[in-house]
Amino acid sequence: MILIGENLNVMSQTLGPALRERNAGPIEEMAREETEAGIDLVDLNIGPARKGGDELMAWVVNTVQAVTDKMLSLDTTNLDAMEAGLGVRKGPVLINSVSLQSSRIDRGLELANKYNANLIGLLWSNEGMPRDVNERAMHTVDFVYKANEAGIPNERIWIDPIASPISVEINQVKACVEFMTMLGEIAPGCKSTVGLSNISNGAPDALRCWLNRTYMIMLMRYGLYSAIVDAFDKDLMQIARGERPDIVELVHKMMDGEKPDISSLPKEMANYARTTRVLMGESLYSASWLEV
């Protein structure tokens, strides 16, 4: 699995001000720490950055590429900022992201072509969030067709089906898993990615990691290529690196219909088993799902 570190973002209470003040120290430190934690790409999330986004993105790219050799993922909806970052980038790069919205897709694809970049195809359209697995499939076909027409081969496209919080709708959680089973057929050669922490948005902080890790394992079963993750969740990193086959086996067997006796499992395994049941929609999500 290719891991994209989510931690360098403008929502952060320390990094937000550092970005606005062009204070390089905390930004460099975060890029170094994510690199040491073992991520493969550093996501540079400057948000919508409507004012001065171009100058900001160029500054972040320069700041970060001075301290890490990792591939960079430029995360903004502002395509002027995207182009400014691409213009100063000296190594491989991922455009995060290009959506299907008619106001964005042509320019986004043009940038990917011009700068020979990889790109995340975000399945967000003029109508907003896809409603189910069928809309995700339709949007993927559209996106890949347009990208190919613009000269971008499938190998450079990473499709993101858009994970959404379990606290909002379990059917959307299931739709992304189902989508993963179809992607290889719909778009051969395309890669995949997903923002894992989205799934636990709104859940109590101490419990978010269980949802993030378990969802990753479920998507891994159908070949998830990469994920945007919390670089400092050590257990998640270990699972992604194949160092916890015991947990992966438990979750995958449950997806195949096995029903382990959860009360007889050790606490850690029981947590994964309970979380799997919630993410499969077999038991209701509540903020105390681990206790049930």
Whichever of 13 and 288 has its CB closer to ligand THG, that residue is 13
Among 191, 188, 228, 190, CA closest to 212: 228
Strand partners, 198: none
Q: What are 235's two structure tokens?
A: 């257990």
130 belongs to the binding site for ligand THG (CB under 6 A)? no
| Closer of 96 and 276 to ligand THG (Cβ) | 96
Burial degree of 222 (CB within 10 A; 0-12, 13-18, 19+)? middle
Number of chain residues interacting with ligand THG (CB under 6 A): 18
- Residue with Cβ nearer ligand THG (75 or 83): 75
Q: Of the candidates 5, 30, 45, 179, which one interacts with ligand THG according to CB under 6 A? A: 45
Contact between 197 and ligand THG per CB under 6 A: yes
Q: Which two tokens stand for residue 28?
A: 């460099």
- 140 lies in the site for ligand THG, by CB under 6 A: no
Q: How far is CA 229 from CA 205, 236, 237, 262, in A?
A: 15, 8, 9, 27
Task: Map residues 59-78 to x or -, x wherever contact with ligand THG holds by CB under 6 A.
Answer: ----------------x---
Of 5, 53, 121, 195, the one binding ligand THG (CB under 6 A) is 195
d(CA 44, CA 168): 27
In whole angstroms, the minimum distance from the beta carbon of 88 to ligand THG comes to: 21
- State the minimum distance, in angstroms, from the CB of residue 97 to ligand THG: 4
Which string of DSSP letters, residue by residue, matches 61-123?
Answer: HHHHHTT--SEEEEE-S-HHHHHHHHHH--S-EEEEEEES-TTTHHHHHHHHHHTT-EEEEE-
DSSP SS3 for 106:
helix
Residues of span 145-174 touching ligand THG by CB under 6 A: 160, 163
Residues 92 to 121 in contact with ligand THG, rule: CB under 6 A: 96-97, 120
Minimum distance from CB of 24 to ligand THG (Å)? 18
Answer positive or negative: Cα dihedral of 126, 127, 133, 135: negative
State the residues that interact with ligand THG by CB under 6 A. 6-7, 9, 11-13, 45, 75, 96-97, 120, 122, 160, 163, 195, 197-198, 228
